[in-house]
């Protein structure tokens, strides 16, 4: 199968960070050590030789304990990070929900942020005006439109971000635990929209600590541990093994 048949192709990707191994209290000390070549760093590998192929229209859950590399992998796919080794190929438009409130200005109102976030996602003002009421209705924030985002709860921000990101059907939708801050009713509402988008051909990458949610929403799953692949397969099998691992 050619790469064009896949939405995402990750081939032996490694992500490396350099962490300072000593404390430096000011810029002067930093530059002196830099010029003298005395700066010491420790290498930290957030992802190690990870490979993944996601066919167009598939839904994948990405699971693992905190610090396993899930968010790093999503940032790699979104282009926020570049691989130290390996390659990442993306085919199609993308709507990422990887950080709560990303694309929002906390000092602007929700009304203003809808247009700002839409512009970040590549939508023009006319398009956002056409879909404004649909976004507000889905987010259930009719009474809070003229309130600054900084006064929103994390759940309200997540609802607004999800509503804007899914107002059109992207080729690839990425959700990183942002729905976990919403109430149960809204989580169910979001899951139904994701199911609908899947049926329409959207590729889904979904990070969640809820095993049942991953089994419901996803066909396949990737389990990461300390930046490495542990298991790849159908969601039911991977989640069962992951739960057994957690119980041990």
Domains of the chain: 3-247 (3.40.50.300)
* Bridge partner list, 42: 19
Q: What would the pLDDT profile of 188-229 be if each residue is shown by its tens digit?
A: 888 888 888 888 889 999 988 888 888 888 999 999 999 999
Kindly state the percentage of the chain with pLDDT values over 90: 42
Beta strand pairing status for 203-207 and 85-90?
Answer: unpaired
Q: For residue range 69-96, list pLDDT tens digits in order.
A: 998 999 999 888 899 999 999 998 888 8
User: Nearest Cα to 166, choosing from 153, 154, 149, 178?
Assistant: 178
CA-to-CA distance for 206 and 208, rounded, in angstroms? Answer: 6
Residue 27 structure tokens: 């810029």
- DSSP alpha helix (H) spans, the chain: 27-35, 70-78, 110-120, 125-139, 154-165, 184-199, 211-217, 235-247
**Residue 107 CA, distance from chain mean position:** 24
Looking at residue 38, its pLDDT comes to: 59
How many whole angstroms separate alpha carbon 92 and alpha carbon 56? Answer: 9
Q: What is the mean pLDDT of the chain?
A: 85
């Amino acid at each position: 199968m050619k790469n064009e048949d896949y939405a995402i192709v990750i081939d032996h990707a490694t992500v490396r960070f350099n962490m300072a191994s000593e404390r430096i209290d000011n810029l002067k000390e930093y530059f002196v050590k830099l010029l003298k070549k005395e700066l010491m760093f420790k290498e930290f590998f957030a992802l190690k030789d990870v490979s993944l192929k996601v066919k167009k229209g598939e839904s994948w859950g990405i699971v693992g304990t905190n610090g396993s590399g899930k968010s790093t992998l999503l940032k790699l796919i979104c282009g926020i990070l570049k691989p130290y080794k390996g390659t990442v190929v993306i085919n199609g438009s993308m709507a990422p929900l990887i950080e709560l409130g990303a694309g929002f200005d906390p000092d602007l109102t929700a009304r203003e942020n809808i247009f700002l976030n839409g512009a970040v996602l590549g939508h023009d003002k006319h398009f956002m005006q056409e879909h404004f009421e649909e976004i507000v209705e889905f987010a259930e924030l009719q009474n809070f439109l003229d309130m600054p985002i900084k006064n929103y709860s994390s759940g309200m921000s997540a609802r607004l971000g999800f509503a804007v990101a899914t107002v059109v059907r992207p080729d690839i939708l990425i959700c990183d635990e942002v729905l976990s801050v919403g109430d149960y009713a809204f989580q169910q509402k979001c899951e139904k929209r994701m199911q609908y988008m899947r049926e329409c051909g959207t590729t889904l990458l979904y990070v969640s600590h809820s095993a049942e949610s991953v089994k419901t929403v996803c066909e396949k799953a990737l389990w990461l541990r300390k930046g490495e692949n542990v298991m790849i397969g159908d969601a039911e099998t991977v989640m069962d093994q992951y739960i057994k691992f957690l119980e041990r």
